[in-house]
Amino acid sequence: MKIQQVTAVEVLPIRHQVLWPEKPLSFCSVEGDEFATHYGAFVDNQLVCVASIYINGREARLRKFATLPQYQGQGIGSKVLEHVMSTLQHFNVHYFWCDARTTALSFYQRFGLEVDGPEFEKSGIAYYKMSVCWRD
């Protein structure tokens, strides 16, 4: 497996297939995609996992993190998140957060993220804001 930066265009099909297959592809675009840093994990030269990071000063937000179903449960997403978090800390990001689907809380907790506020809903899906602060 190889993790590298990819383009906003490359992440869209996986976002769509995994996160919002019932919505149009355009629904999977995020405002600011053109300025975000997008990471992809490749297995046998096939893009199988994507994560998009939106940085604002010393704060970074993870959005649209998705792994193709047939590659889930193999540690690929974990390796991508470890890579992203390590890279962000190297570049002195102090606060990292995401809106996590309630079904993924335990996944993010394994990486030190904690629930940061009440449950909320987006497009019919329940979420929690989760975050970690590496420096005060």
Per-residue pLDDT tens over the stretch 16-47: 999 989 999 999 899 999 999 999 999 999 99
Terminal Cα-to-Cα distance of the chain (whole angstroms):
34
For 2-98, which CATH class?
alpha beta
Label residue 136 by pLDDT band (50, 70, 90). Answer: low
Asked if residue 105 lies in contact with residue 115, where contact means CB atoms within 8 angstroms, the answer is yes
Predicted local distance difference test score (pLDDT) of residue 31: 92
Mean predicted lDDT score pLDDT of the chain:
95
Predicted local distance difference test score (pLDDT) of residue 104: 93
Residue spans per domain, the chain: 2-98
Report how far Cα 118 is from the mean position of its chain's Cα atoms. 20
Helix (H, G, I), strand (E, B) or coil at 102: helix
pTM above 0.85, yes or no: yes
The full length of the chain comes to 136
Asked if residue 66 lies in contact with residue 107, where contact means CB atoms within 8 angstroms, the answer is no
Amino acid occupying residue 58: R
Asked if residue 55 lies in contact with residue 37, where contact means CB atoms within 8 angstroms, the answer is yes
